[in-house]
Structure 1
């Protein structure tokens, strides 16, 4: 009994050290937070992942729960221009099997709906009511990775696992969100949870993940294998990259966070160093402007494929083009944008299917703000590009497209980029010019603080905007985000009033200083 208590004490200490703990703004994990406990084995040679996950949660629906199994989307072929742009031409489907689905240890008759499964709860004998105790949902799975250019695939040197673990669907006032995997945008919506993930690999491989990997316990008692015991708290997902010995790492501390950039031995070291510097500097800048970063590790990982960049909590993927000689500013800009997502997506969540402008547009504005501070020449051209693309919208008006719409409503990636990234960031840049950087960033800091670890909405931003402005901001947002051109003059007048009050405020400050 004493030995068991000692082990429990050591495990608790390791968990408490591994969970991010930085800053007064850090919210301690709540006792009712969802917990994912996974135990997986990865075979890089066969491109296979197998294991189990137990999800402990308090049901918001006494009858059923829904779980996203995104790898199911890649067990079949997709034929369309958008899917080709996402996955590339050289595509091989993967496999995915659930060998067991149980609730409180009893087999459950789950029903598949696309890449979601419905798990009945009401018929399970002995199941807790969910009011005082969590429900335990267990899934055993095995998968062979698909070959593609997307978020979850492999090449000769790595396996990158984005959106690979089973994850609970969100249920809110609008009901269940069971949106399928889309070939455009980031078709995900998740709430924060705690993760305990054991990953067993051949001992010649290494990994980077959402967890604080450099502080993880590594068990090498089995010859030829090692098991990482990974833990992460208050995160929206758990991503992972398995890398062979050709990978090297750059490491720098930014505040309380260790920033690590992973690159391959045949990559350009200069490009890797440039990306790493951008990650370190932008993480510091965003922390100073929008609120302290609470996690103690941040990984920027070179992958294969052509996903450009992809954000996950505490880790981002950058495809190999960002590490090639002569890449110039390409890697820097993508690194900074994905780092900005650590605030706008990771810390402040949103429905990325219906409200993509809230994370992509805000992350792009933050990118522009950082570049203006540290890479002014690069910022000037990028701001002008975003303004041009965000304002040249006549065609989109005729097609009834706008930034604030669901992903499936965008016919192509160009319209998605122009409206979600460019128009939203151009709107925020216009606010910056009217208010000044300090006032806008004060509002964004309040937005992050209010919604930290939660889910933000467009209406929440609208309310904060009106409160900061001192007047209703409906017409301004309708013009910019709903692309209602009938509100153009009202929006311009609103912005001019904001600019006027800023100048009056500055004049009064000068008068007070003179007195």
Structure 2
């Protein structure tokens, strides 16, 4: 493999890694991982090859685990949920782990029973450790988050990433076909991408400021640097793509669309992205990244959020389609709930999806009252009609593996928590609810929050224990229905007296 240029351009961004860290501090922000990668992408052959170096402070001195999500798509999967995720006639990819080093010493990784997990042995020395992994893959073709068509390659959840070790231990969950089966912590990324000269890209990094560090007759290498992000996504596009840009505060919003797409629809999607980013910036707290990309992909993923970048599949860019507006607003709201404020999306998906959908409803209701009112009506109908789910013992507060289909996931994870917050807005008023959410985001910014922590935070803000209210709405405990209604009424009366 050709030797690539070494990376020096992000040295200032990651200077903290060269400074001593007080062993007693150990905070998430001072000891977040650093991913440095050299990758080559071949859009014609649909191949990606590279080396990633992960520098991190291990919480388990004996081993670490890597998520190798592309490996999931090297084998066939059966069942309705997989068919809905992958679409008709998906083709498999390939994935090869060519080299694995720990602190410069070759080691043998252990593939667990789940294709997406690789165990990496560590010796018990203290201080930061360094894992180097060389990989090659051919992309699968399907309707999901990592695939391609004739005009683009979209890479979501493609780089090896550390599994989370927290108070509960290791989180080594399998890749579920429902929901977003990911749980990650903030990190810094320094990624060199080599690709053909006539292709362009958008990524989690601020690409407008990216450096082209080398160029040959047919290839170019671009250096991408992203700080304090939960993941790193990338889209490679051919010359059929064009973009629209708008400055929102200190952030440039860019919408990438194809020349064959409907210009008016693309303009509506871009306007919704820019205006909703400004709205959430004001309502939920400052957006910290200098760029936000909305990228039209192929497939049928609908929409998918990543830090500073979201995917929208091409169906939203047809003439007369209005689904793109709602979808891009929802994915933009995810920049706060999932992006700035992380959670375990496998165990507590309602923590990002429910809050994201609530603020989406708030924005739509303000911007387009007719569209917003209809969206609210549908969510309230789906979120409160739960007799079937009570009988089936299904609830929002459960793991992805417990949802039998996407309809139950949507009703319980999107509709019921957003209905709960909408009714709280009726008691408190929008200004109060949004002020509480802004404080919530600020308190846990760049961290991972749990449902228990939200319960404690809401109780503190309400001035009384909110457990019965949340038990009814999130655990669908029907025995708490009257207590939940009484709690909400007390909150309404308390707010009226102020």
TM-score, with normalisation over the residues of structure 1? Answer: 0.91
2:176 pairs, out of 151, 164, 182, with 182
Alignment of 1:194-209 (within 5 A): 194-209=188-203
Once residues 89 and 222 of structure 2 are traced to their aligned partners in structure 1, the CA distance between those partners, rounded to angstroms, is 32
Residues 319, 99 of structure 1: alpha-carbon distance in 2 compared, 3 angstrom cutoff: same
2:369 pairs, out of 369, 376, 396, with 376
Residues 8, 208 of structure 1: alpha-carbon distance in 2 compared, 3 angstrom cutoff: closer
2:459 pairs, out of 441, 458, 466, with 466
Once residues 32 and 343 of structure 2 are traced to their aligned partners in structure 1, the CA distance between those partners, rounded to angstroms, is 18
1:249 pairs, out of 243, 264, 285, with 243
Q: 1:363-383 CA deviation, whole Å, 9 max, x = no partner?
A: 000100111111111100000
Once residues 339 and 257 of structure 1 are traced to their aligned partners in structure 2, the CA distance between those partners, rounded to angstroms, is 13
Alignment of 1:229-268 (within 5 A): 229-268=223-262
Q: 1:312-334 CA deviation, whole Å, 9 max, x = no partner?
A: 00000000011110102x10000
2:437 pairs, out of 444, 456, 461, with 444
Tell me the SS of whatever aligns to 2:11.
helix
**Which residue of structure 1 lines up, in the alignment, with residue 56 of structure 2?**
57
Residues 8, 106 of structure 1: alpha-carbon distance in 2 compared, 3 angstrom cutoff: closer
Q: 1:418-460 CA deviation, whole Å, 9 max, x = no partner?
A: 0000000000000000000011111101110011000011111
Once residues 89 and 190 of structure 1 are traced to their aligned partners in structure 2, the CA distance between those partners, rounded to angstroms, is 30
Q: In the alignment, does 2:480 pair up with 1:487?
A: yes
TM-score, with normalisation over the residues of structure 2? Answer: 0.94
Residues 480, 14 of structure 1: alpha-carbon distance in 2 compared, 3 angstrom cutoff: closer
Tell me the SS of whatever aligns to 2:215.
coil
2:421 pairs, out of 419, 424, 428, with 428
**Which residue of structure 2 lines up, in the alignment, with residue 37 of structure 1?**
36
Q: 1:125-154 CA deviation, whole Å, 9 max, x = no partner?
A: xx7x23xx3101000000000010000000
Alignment of 1:60-71 (within 5 A): 60-71=59-70
Q: In the alignment, does 2:222 pair up with 1:228?
A: yes
Residues 189, 258 of structure 1: alpha-carbon distance in 2 compared, 3 angstrom cutoff: same
Alignment of 1:264-303 (within 5 A): 264-303=258-297
How big is the alpha-carbon RMSD for the aligned residues of Structure 1 and Structure 2? Answer: 1.5
**Which residue of structure 1 lines up, in the alignment, with residue 387 of structure 2?**
394
Once residues 11 and 480 of structure 1 are traced to their aligned partners in structure 2, the CA distance between those partners, rounded to angstroms, is 46
Once residues 442 and 10 of structure 2 are traced to their aligned partners in structure 1, the CA distance between those partners, rounded to angstroms, is 31
Q: In the alignment, does 2:352 pair up with 1:352?
A: no
1:498 pairs, out of 468, 485, 491, with 491
Q: In the alignment, does 2:113 pair up with 1:119?
A: no
**Which residue of structure 1 lines up, in the alignment, with residue 133 of structure 2?**
139
Once residues 314 and 470 of structure 2 are traced to their aligned partners in structure 1, the CA distance between those partners, rounded to angstroms, is 38
The answer to whether the 8 Å contact 2:7/2:223 transfers is: no
The answer to whether the 8 Å contact 1:104/1:136 transfers is: yes
Residues 474, 439 of structure 1: alpha-carbon distance in 2 compared, 3 angstrom cutoff: same
Alignment of 1:98-177 (within 5 A): 98-113=97-112, 114=114, 115-122=116-123, 129-130=125-126, 133-177=127-171
Tell me the SS of whatever aligns to 2:224.
strand
Once residues 12 and 86 of structure 2 are traced to their aligned partners in structure 1, the CA distance between those partners, rounded to angstroms, is 42
**Which residue of structure 1 lines up, in the alignment, with residue 19 of structure 2?**
none
2:409 pairs, out of 404, 407, 416, with 416
The answer to whether the 8 Å contact 2:139/2:146 transfers is: yes
**Which residue of structure 2 lines up, in the alignment, with residue 78 of structure 1?**
77
Tell me the SS of whatever aligns to 1:143.
strand
The answer to whether the 8 Å contact 1:15/1:231 transfers is: no
Kindly state the Cα deviation for residue 32 of structure 1 after the two structures are TM-superposed: 2.2
Deviates more, 1:496-505 or 1:82-91: 496-505
Once residues 468 and 438 of structure 1 are traced to their aligned partners in structure 2, the CA distance between those partners, rounded to angstroms, is 14
**Which residue of structure 1 lines up, in the alignment, with residue 22 of structure 2?**
none
Q: In the alignment, does 2:307 pair up with 1:307?
A: no
Structure 2 gaps of 5+ residues are: 1-5, 16-26
The answer to whether the 8 Å contact 1:443/1:464 transfers is: no
Residues 155, 295 of structure 1: alpha-carbon distance in 2 compared, 3 angstrom cutoff: same
Residues 205, 8 of structure 1: alpha-carbon distance in 2 compared, 3 angstrom cutoff: closer
Tell me the SS of whatever aligns to 2:176.
coil
**Which residue of structure 2 lines up, in the alignment, with residue 89 of structure 1?**
88
Kindly state the Cα deviation for residue 504 of structure 1 after the two structures are TM-superposed: 1.6
The answer to whether the 8 Å contact 2:9/2:223 transfers is: no
Tell me the SS of whatever aligns to 2:239.
coil
Where in structure 1 do 4 or more consecutive aligned residues deviate above 6 Å? 7-10
Kindly state the Cα deviation for residue 384 of structure 1 after the two structures are TM-superposed: 0.4
